[in-house]
Structure 1
Amino acid sequence: MVRDEDGSLSLELVLVTPALILLLLFVVFAGRLGSASADVAQATAQAARAASLQGQPGAAAAAADAAVADNLNASGVDCAALDVAVDTSAFAPGGTVTVRVRCSVALADIAGALPGTRALTAESVQVIDTYRGEGG
């Protein structure tokens, strides 16, 4: 007796297609989340560099804040909550400046209908030029 297999491929396709779509959506979500994380890391590195070029700790903190905001805005990352911490405790020629950024992004901005937020964090340390003058 020969079994009739007409339509079995269609049935398999109907059963497998939703799983393939979910897998594709997960890959897109992971890629967009990775891209946003890289953008935060890049903004943090630029902020540390901008801070290290300033002459005074107060100006360094202001420059870092501005650099983070400008870079995240340019890359299209919309932070629901943004925290920029600038450590200028070793702010002197030959010292360092450290910038830590925490950006909470809405998952709906990244993946459409997902609720909640995801915190993206980055830290960057920049060495201050040893041979520059004290005033910058």
Structure 2
Amino acid sequence: MNRPQPQHRTAVDKGSAAVEMVLATPLLVLVLLTVVALGRVADARLIVSDAAHQAARAASLARTDTEAHASAQSIAHTTFTDAHSACTHPRVTIDTDGLTPGSSTAATVTCTADLGDLTHIGMPGTVTITGTAHSPVDRFRSSP
């Protein structure tokens, strides 16, 4: 059985691995930060969609417009707080359509996902995310 003979390094090859590592490391860190940023955006989109769904449902269960707006705002902010989201300054807009039986309520949730803290050098980076959900008002409930 023939074994390949080990190749001997020459003086020219010494230190080339270190140079390659120095050149490749910043690129690998950049790829890692990009993956983290995309993960934060995907997580924020899921949370915004969930908050919009919960706000629309809470509004559809309310008996008055004032109660619908208050409960939708409250549940949306609770959703963001419980999820420890990267979103800042969430805004909730509710369209109750008068809460008439058989109608639909709509909740639109908008927030800004902050990505600037990924590099610790103050690089700006925000993404605005919006989610809308609809929930029907029970057709057989009594009018307020």
Q: Say yes or no: TM over 0.5.
A: yes
Instruction: Name the residue aligned to 2:63.
Output: 55
Count of residues in correspondence between the two structures: 133
Letter in 1 for 2:96: T
Gaps of 5+ in 2: 1-8
Q: Work out which of the residue numbers 34, 44, 65 in structure 2 matches 1:36.
A: 44
Identity of aligned residues (%): 34
Equivalent residue number for residue 17 of structure 1: 25
Corresponding residue number in structure 2 for 1:130: 139
Which stretches of structure 1, 4 residues or more, deviate above 6 A after TM superposition?
none
Q: Which 5+ residue runs of structure 1 have no aligned equivalent? A: none
Kindly provide the amino acid, as one letter, of the partner of residue 107 in structure 2: V
Contact 2:56 2:133 in 1 (8 A): yes
Query: Secondary structure of 1:125's partner?
Result: strand
**Hey, what's the Cα distance between the residues in 2 that align with 1:23 and 1:78?**
20
Q: Larger Rg: 1 or 2?
A: 2
Q: Aligned letter for 1:121?
A: T
1:6 matched to 2:24? The reply is no
Identify the range of structure 1 (12-21 vs 114-123) with the bigger mean alpha-carbon deviation: 114-123
Equivalent-residue separation in structure 2 for 1:12 and 1:108 (angstroms)? 29
RMSD value over aligned CA atoms? 2.2
Aligned 8 A contact 2:49 2:131 in 1: yes
**What is the TM-score when the length of structure 1 is the normalising length?**
0.84
Residue aligning to 1:75: 83
Query: TM-score, length-normalised on structure 2?
Result: 0.80
